[in-house]
Amino acid sequence: MSVTREYGAVTREILDELLSALGKNRVLSDHDGMEPYSWDETGKNFAVLPEVVVKPGNTEDVRAVMRIAQKHRIPVTASAARSGVAGGAIPLRRGIVLTTEKMNRILEVDPVNRTATVEPGVITNDLCKVAAEKGYLYAGSPMSTFTSTVGGNVATNAGGAKGIRYGSTRAHVLGLEVVLPGGDVLSLGGKIRKGTWGYDLKDLVVGSEGTLGIVTKIVVNLEPMPGRTADLLVPFRTIGEAVAATSKILALGVSLLSCEYLDQPSVLLTSRYVKYVYPFQDEAEAFLLIQVEGKDEETLERDCDKVGNLCYDEGAIEVFVADNRSDSADIWSVRQNYAEALRVKDPYFVSGDVLLPLSRVPDMVRSIEETAKKYELECVVCGHIGEGNMHPDIFKPDQMELREWESYSEAFFADLIRHAVDMGGIGSGEHGVGFVKKPFLTETKGEVEIGLMRRIKQAFDPDWILNPGKIVDS
Amino acid sequence: MEIAVMIKQVPATDSVKIDPETGTMIRDGLEMEINPLDLHSLEAAVTLRDRAGRGRVTVFTMGPPSALRAVRSALAFGCDRGFLVTDRAFGGSDTLATARTLAAALRKEGPFDMILCGERATDGETGQVGPALGHLLGASVLTYVNDILELGEGYVVVRRAIEGGEQVVRAKLPAQLGVVKELNRPRLTTLRRRQAARETPIPSLTAEDLGLPKERCGLKGSPTQVVSISYPEVTRSCEMIQVGTDVDRAVSVLAEALLKEVAPR
């Protein structure tokens, strides 16, 4: 049963308390200053203006904000790059937006423990760069690596193109410092790689979308750099051939860092945006983009042959090989700029994120096609097909009003998520629940599990001030 | 139409490190790739041949035996034949000795109507080998070529990027072209072509094959001496200027501050 909670308003006195705790450069309360914090990549139509935006510079600042928020029952929504697409950073109940953008220091790279310690506002690619300079790979980076922050990745348990090999963000979070409502600080995990030491609260906080605590420090795992890599770009005449080839590629036992899928409409759209044309993009219904790794040149060549020859056998129009940085950057630019290209075409497009057992991906691809037809929607599909994670993205029909679009697109995704769950899948592989998928989570999880989630939330945040309206309701 | 394409293997990194003792590049453990601008030469050469429907594209690289991989990739690009110019005696070559060695190779395997080079390589960044090679072969030397407008009997018309604009030049063949990335978009190579390229023999050319005396190549044949090498010191400082919300005042205060930083002309 859902309870509507009452929250306090940010009064002049509370504003003064925040100002004296953080200083005037760290508190915004004018409309124009706060407007960018009212929405994220989910779409501007969902914007909710906060009452105040605070920019803490360290853990002590965050504690001070949380003490004030707890005392006055003010909602607190954590925010950073606002690149999320499930509405996680939108302050649904107004109150305080706490942005971690000023907490953006890479505190340490520890070669002995093979870890990096960072603040949550670090842009993910900055961490990747620093790690690479020291000879390591930060493998938890999502496709939005240039815009998203490590804190945001932790909040959504973000995944990326390398997930097939390295897993999502959770697999790389070794330690967290978390501030609870009221200001208590938890230190969870650390520079350690395993543990049977009570319930694993760290793993619970990863993916909790700012509903359990504010993450103020993150210890991440660094991987040794992979060996040599080459990228294969493979156009297929039909979607069916591309999907069927994928499961056979995965069964080859070759070391893959990525196995991505792009359908023709998504390639045509993004290729116009990045001004790079994929060969055969007018004929191929689908493309696979596969990154092969080999410990040396011979292994790499052999394994590229294995994957490529299989693709030829499965009906690929051609197999293109990129083994230099320019070609690799070009062919990946289409995949990496996909979301931006969609946003340029339609600022109100809605992004899906279904996750399936690999064996059911062909059924899901068919289901997406049929559902789009049923709803008469233009739909483009890309995804981390090697992990069974597909992103069906739909565009608002020109004549449809925004309000209607919100419920219409919700109905479309409700159908798809139900199909996914029926097939043993779930409604979000990496984007998160936020508020846009909350009804589907509640519907598909069942009362017992949702009840447990509510009690966990209650235990961390008794007054439900942290990011209210997300994941579960009280 | 005989076209030669000169390619170089360079480290696949933007941060080349120099050994402070020897003044030479540290190449150990670095992954190598074809110099990015050379891919544009390859594309241009293969396109010119295919458009003409006749002719031959020959690729050359000078380097250690491991540079064979670059020649193989170039063959996968569609080149007809490839040569690896390699000899311990070529070690330590400066740009003149390199150009002299490559000129000998081209004389041996030529003659060529066109010699295409990337404008410069991302490691050495000198941009000297191409023009020196053109000069040694008595070819027209055309740098910064961003378009090949016409290829006629005995002449070529190209567009060059020059300071403040562009220049269209008609030059006699043979011509050596240094190309820039605006020239074209290099194609992707296919797995089938790469597999076929592995079967294509790639002859090596040594100092003896080229009839080059030892004192004319390698370190001995290089007049350039690296006396010392150092990284430039980069310093940044930040000055915060508080001016409030008056935009006009902010602009004039900023302009004044910037003028103070600029040396008077």
- What pLDDT, in 10s, does the model give residues B168-212? 999 999 999 999 999 999 999 999 999 999 999 999 999 999 999
Percent of chain B clearing pLDDT 90 (strictly above): 62
Q: Do B188 and A324 touch (CB under 8 A)?
A: no
CA distance A233 to chain B (A): 9
Q: Check residue A1 and give its pLDDT.
A: 45
pLDDT, residue A2, reads: 55
The interaxial angle of helices A338-345 and A264-274, nearest 10 deg, is 90
Domains and CATH numbers, chain A: 12-102+455-460 (3.30.43.10), 106-224 (3.30.465.10), 228-339 (3.30.70.2190), 346-436 (3.30.70.2740)
A237-260 burial by CB neighbour count: b if 16+ within 10 A, else e?
A: eebebbbbbbeebbeeebbbbbbb
Q: Which of B33, B69, B185 sits opposite A325 (nearest CB)?
A: B33
pLDDT band of B226, cuts 50, 70, 90: confident
Q: How confident is the model at residue A3 (pLDDT cuts 50, 70, 90)?
A: low
Of A319, A326, A331, which is closest to B191 when you measure between CB atoms? Answer: A319
Q: What is the pLDDT of residues A13-22, one digit of tens each?
A: 999 999 999 9
Residue A307: its pLDDT value, please?
98
A–B interface: beta-carbon pairs under 8 A: 48
Test A320 with B189 for CB contact under 8 angstroms. Answer: yes
Is the pLDDT confidence value at B263 over 70? no
pLDDT number for residue B23: 65
Inter-chain touch A297–B191, beta carbons under 8 Å: no
How confident is the model over A345-356, as a mean pLDDT? 94
Q: Which residue has the higher pLDDT, A347 or B12?
A: A347
- Cβ pair A96, A10 in contact under 8 A: yes
Distance (Å) from the C-alpha of residue B116 to the closest C-alpha of chain A? 19
DSSP tag of A78: E
Contact across the interface for B188 and A319, Cβ inside 8 Å: no
> Could you give the 3-state DSSP secondary structure of residue A356?
coil
- Tell me the pLDDT tens digit for each residue of A72-93: 999 999 999 999 999 999 999 9
pLDDT at residue number B264: 61
Helix (H) or strand (E) holding B249: helix B247-261
Contacts A228 to B, Cβ<8 Å = 31
Residue spans per domain, chain B: 2-216
Give the contacts of A30 (CB within 8 A, at least 6 positions apart): none
Tens-digit pLDDT profile for residues A212-268: 999 999 999 999 999 889 999 999 999 999 999 999 999 999 999 999 999 999 999
Q: What share of chain A in percent tops pLDDT 70?
A: 99
Residues on chain B bordering chain A, Cβ-to-Cβ distance under 8 angstroms: 12, 31, 33-34, 36, 39, 69, 73, 76, 185-192, 194-195
To which residue do tokens 């006396």 refer?
Answer: B227
Q: Give the chain A residue whose CA is nearest to the CA of B185.
A: A276
CA-based nearest residue to A230, from A286, A161, A301: A301
CATH superfamily of B2-216: HUPs (3.40.50.620)
Instruction: Give the lowest-confidence range in A146-160, A260-274, B221-235.
Output: B221-235
Residues of A with Cβ-Cβ distance to B76 under 8 angstroms: 321
pLDDT for A410-440, tens place per residue? 999 999 999 999 999 999 999 999 999 999 9
Q: Express each pLDDT in A98-121 by its tens digit.
A: 999 999 999 999 999 999 999 999
Query: What is the overall mean pLDDT for chain B?
Result: 89
Q: Please indicate whether, in this complex, the C-beta atoms of A326 and B69 are within 8 angstroms of each other.
A: no
| φ/ψ of residue A52, rounded to 5 | -155, 150
Taking a C-beta distance cutoff of 8 angstroms, is the pair B120, B132 a contact?
no
- In this complex, do B191 and A325 lie within 8 Å of one another by their Cβ atoms? no
What pLDDT is recorded for position B92? 86
Angle at A19 between CA A17 and CA A21, to 5 degrees: 70
Report CA-CA distances (Å) from A102 to A9, A41, A244, A434.
Answer: 25, 21, 47, 24
Identify the helix (H) or strand (E) that includes residue B149. strand B140-152
Residue of B nearest to A229 (CA): B31
What is the reported pLDDT for A354? 96
Total-model pTM: 0.86
B155-162 and B140-152 as β-strands: parallel, antiparallel, unpaired?
Answer: antiparallel
Q: Which of A27-41, B33-47, B218-232 has the lowest mean pLDDT?
A: B218-232
**ipTM of the complex in this document:** 0.83
| Contacting residues of A for B11, CB less than 8 Å apart | none
| Helices B68-77/B36-52 angle, 10° precision | 40
